[in-house]
Amino acid sequence: MYQYLAAAPPTAGNSILTLIVPFAIMFIVFYFLLIRPQKKKQQTRNTMLRALKKGDKIVTIGGLHGTIVSLTEDTVILLVNDATKLTFERNAISHSVTSEATSES
C-alpha cells in the first residue's frame, strides 16, 4: 500500500503549494519581528526630530550635549558652552534630553 503512495508522481499544484507556503510564513514572521518594529522606531524618531525647537537640550549621535540655538530645515546650531556654537545635520541628533526628563518624572 505504501509503495503506491511513494511511487505516485506529485501533482503540480501540490509541489507549488509546498514551496510557497514556507516562504509566506517566513515573510510574515520577518514582517512582525523585524520590519514592523523598525518602522515604528523610525516613525517616533522622525516625530522627535520634527518636534525640536529652539532651547531644547539634545544629545548628538557622537555623544555631544548641547542646546539648540537655531534650526533650519536640515541643520541645527548647538550651543555647547558659553562661547562655542557647532552646526550639525538634523539627522545627527540622537535624542532630546528635555523630553526624556519630563517623561521619567
Amino acid 16: pLDDT: 84
Amino acid 48: pLDDT: 93
Q: List pLDDT tens digits, range 41-96.
A: 999 999 999 999 999 999 999 999 999 999 999 999 999 998 999 999 999 999 99
Same domain, 30 and 68: no
102, 61 contact by CB (below 8 A): no
Same domain, 43 and 57: no
We report the CATH number of the domain holding residue 80 as 2.30.30.30
67, 55 contact by CB (below 8 A): yes
Same domain, 8 and 24: yes
Q: List pLDDT tens digits, range 1-54.
A: 556 555 555 555 578 888 899 999 999 999 999 999 999 999 999 999 999 999
